Structure 1
Amino acid sequence: MFDHRAADGYSANMFISSWADIARAETPSMLPSFQRSILNPRCPTTYTSSIDDVFALFEPPTKPDLDQNNNDGDNALINRVYYIEGEQLNKIQLLASENGSRRSKLESFTSFLWKIVALSMDDGGDRNKLCNVALAVDGRSRLSEGDGEEKEKLMASHFGNVLSMPSGSKISQDLKEMSLSNIATEVHEFLQTATTKDHFLDLIDWVEERRSKPLVAIAFASKETSVMISSGTRFHIMDKMDFGWGKVVFGSCHVPSGREDCYVMTLPSPTNNNDWIVYMHLPMKHMTYIESHASQMFKPLTSDYLKI
């Protein structure tokens, strides 16, 4: 397990990959850098108000209200792992790009999942409630832009947390009525706020002034339905990892059952370069709806698919 106050998924992957290399008596392919000074704040600190749209001060939750609608356990969070065929990813990318702007597969997938969760909420009677979606954005490559090869290498090997978490918020009924391409435009616009070097420089300064206080992504600062989506498709979890008895057949992340936040992670497929593996930690009611209405997209991961 790891704590996001100390590390992110990129760092965890670096650690596990190095562990596998050392187990085979090999030098790790990337030695971690703990040089905190490369993330020093500016003097004086300066940032725009846009950071307030991404993070907020964390306030410990009060005693939770008893959920009268949860007698059947539909709100209990469960873990599932699916695979998505490359053909399906291409289809939703085409639908998400109908406005004339080509959207990435991650933007398209995020748009599809945002809408399917909203449809599940609407189906359950929550049609006028907010539905939030957040995306994890790695700042390593952004922070090294224009600063030379040495800074680029230092940032690439930096062990820590270099994430921003921009998000969007819409009423579930509105999402139900929007086309996938319009939702993809919303995703693209909120994502763009956190994909620049200036954003991460501002974020460093903003966090520096609040180092003694716990912070939280704005999407999770309320009790509204919120889903965090993280992309691990570039992590070497399966294709290169070998602890000495052969390459790993399958690897995934796992959110403990005690965690009450909704989390989704995309991973590379070990059997088909065009497919994705998708790990999901969502309420039972959303998972049931997804399996009933999007089974052509989300297919249960099986030993047959993994060829084991």
Structure 2
Amino acid sequence: MPLRLQVTSYTCGGFSIAWNTDHALVDAASFSMFVMSWSEIAQMRPLSRYPDHHRSVFKPRSPLKLNPSLDRTFSKYTMEDLLNAMPANKSNYDISVKRFYFVEASDIDLLQAQASQDGRRATKVEAFSAYLWKILAGLILKDNEFNRSCKMAWLVDGRRRMASYKVPNLFGNLLSMAVGEASVQELSHSRISSVASMVQNAIAEASKEAHFLDLLDWIEFHRPGMFLAKVLLGLGGPAIVLSDARRLPVKELDFGFGRPVFGSVYTTAPKLGAGYVSPQLSGVGDGSWVVFTILWPELVEALESDPNRIFKPMSATRLGF
């Protein structure tokens, strides 16, 4: 795969390794497999996983079966569309503020407990998403937009959903986007457990094998071109997209120089049409998260000023230095 690598040394004696590639070619699951294999080779250990490059297993159906709901979620795009993306009717939304945050394990557990109060145990991602969605809704209400709805979206890895195909090691891109939408009034006034149920229902819609088969047919019908979820292009108003990168290896890696204390995804895109939040397990190993975000200033302020202080500033102390 096309790849650029940069090693940066620091006066403190430490260094960082950065990889850059094209998300149109590989997703986070593939990249995680790549860096883990590199680490194992560096340690002269046998590979724990072998990449599967047989993409021909995913052939469009004949005849194609087009699901019209995908037209509401995805669209063709150009790089110019992405660079100029902005939430509809929100010309003052500059979604270009990049931050790293630290979320303590105790705060994640607290959110999960609050989101599980209706008798259904919420996952950590569902609880975290519900918290974010409520913050976004409250921010929109502050603008006196009482009748608006707002969206939240989640990247969904199809490898675990394609049960009939058994392709856990597929190398490439096998992602879809789950999108949830609700009124800001409902989100703001609902308990976090109710919002977590909305999150679960939205993700479930894009977590079925049938959904990915529909997506393959949809892409085949609209080829050639590049495709992206409309929410990332700013179509439909302010939104947050969550990409769960907790499977990205951090403390498991060792390239011969010791284990890293910090690892994260990042993007060179100057801005997006929706807020982007990507949690990863921290290298501390205590269940805490490192969260990379691209947000607009008002949402950054809302998260950092929230009395619950879930999003804490990144610091060397929090990474164990």
Whether TM exceeds 0.5 here: the answer is yes
Flag the 1:294–1:43 CA change in 2: closer, same or farther, 3 A: farther
How far residue 122 of structure 1 moved from its aligned partner, in angstroms, is: 2.5
Write the mapping of 1:245-260 to structure 2, written as runs, cut at 5 A. 245-256=257-268, 258-260=270-272
Residue 311 of structure 2 is aligned with which of 283, 286, 298? 298
Give, in angstroms, the shift of residue 224 of structure 1.
1.2
- Measured in 2, the distance between the counterparts of 1:68 and 1:115 equals 19
Contact 1:53 1:166 in 2 (8 A): no
Distance 1:165 1:68, change over 3 A: closer
Question: Structure 2: which 5+ runs fail to align?
Answer: 1-19
Q: Secondary structure at the match of 2:48?
A: coil
Alignment check: 8 A CA contact 2:263 2:282 kept: no
- The alignment's TM-score, normalised by the length of structure 1, stands at 0.86
Matches within 5 A, 1:224-263: 224-236=237-249, 238-256=250-268, 258-261=270-273, 262-263=275-276
Instruction: Give the superposed CA RMSD.
Output: 2.6
Shift of 1:195: 1.1
1:39 to 40, 58, 71: 58
Answer whether contact 2:279 2:290 (CA < 8 A) is retained. Answer: yes
| SS of corresponding position for 1:165 | strand
In 2 relative to 1, CA 303–159 (structure 1 residues): closer, same or farther, beyond 3 Å?
same
1:15 aligned partner, one-letter code: F
Q: Does 1:99 align with 2:118?
A: yes
Aligned residues: 296
> 1:6 deviation in Å?
1.1
Measured in 1, the distance between the counterparts of 2:85 and 2:215 equals: 31
Taking the aligned partners of 1:210 and 1:230, their CA distance within structure 2 comes to: 25
Q: Map Cα deviations across residues 217-261 of structure 1 (whole Å, 9 max, x no partner).
A: 13235151121101111221x121111111111101112251224
Tell me, what secondary structure is at the counterpart of 1:30?
Answer: coil
Unaligned runs of 5+ in 1: none
Give TM-score, length-normalised by structure 2: 0.82
Give the match for residue 120 of structure 1: 139
Cα deviation 1:46-89 (Å, max 9, x = unaligned): 24334334323447649789x9985xxx8352122222222222
Q: 1:21 aligns with which of 40, 55, 65?
A: 40
SS in 2 for 1:182: helix
Write out per-residue CA displacement over residues 118-176 of structure 1, whole angstroms, 9 at most, x where no aligned residue: 22233345554442210011010211x1x4xxx53xx1221111111011123434422
Q: Are 2:102 and 2:312, in contact at CA under 8 Å, matched by a contact in 1?
A: yes
- Mapped partners of 2:90, 2:181: distance in 1: 25
Tell me, in whole angstroms, the C-alpha distance in 1 between the residues paired with 2:100 and 2:208: 32
Alpha carbons 1:131, 1:171 under 8 Å: kept: yes
Taking the TM superposition and a 5 Å limit, the aligned residue runs for 1:112-191 are 112-143=131-162, 145=163, 147=164, 151-152=165-166, 155-191=167-203
- Read off the aligned partner of 2:272 and give its amino acid letter: E
Shift in Å at residue 12 of structure 1? 1.4
Identity %: 30
Aligned to 2:232: 220
- The structure-2 alpha-carbon separation of the partners of 1:125 and 1:69, relative to structure 1 and needing over 3 Å to count, comes to farther
**1:259-291 deviation per Cα after TM superposition (whole angstroms, max 9, x unaligned):** 224211111122243322221111121111111
TM-superposition CA deviations, 1:72-111 (whole Å, max 9, x none):
xx83521222222222222222222233322211111111
Residue equivalent to 1:268? 281
Separation in 2 of the partners of 1:290 and 1:242?
Answer: 34
Shift of residue 212, structure 1, vs aligned partner: 0.9
- One-letter amino acid of the counterpart of residue 224, structure 1: G
Return the offset for 1:115.
Answer: 0.9
State the Cα distance separating 1:23 from its structure 2 match: 3.6
Mark the CA change 1:302 to 1:38 in structure 2 (over 3 Å): closer, same or farther: same
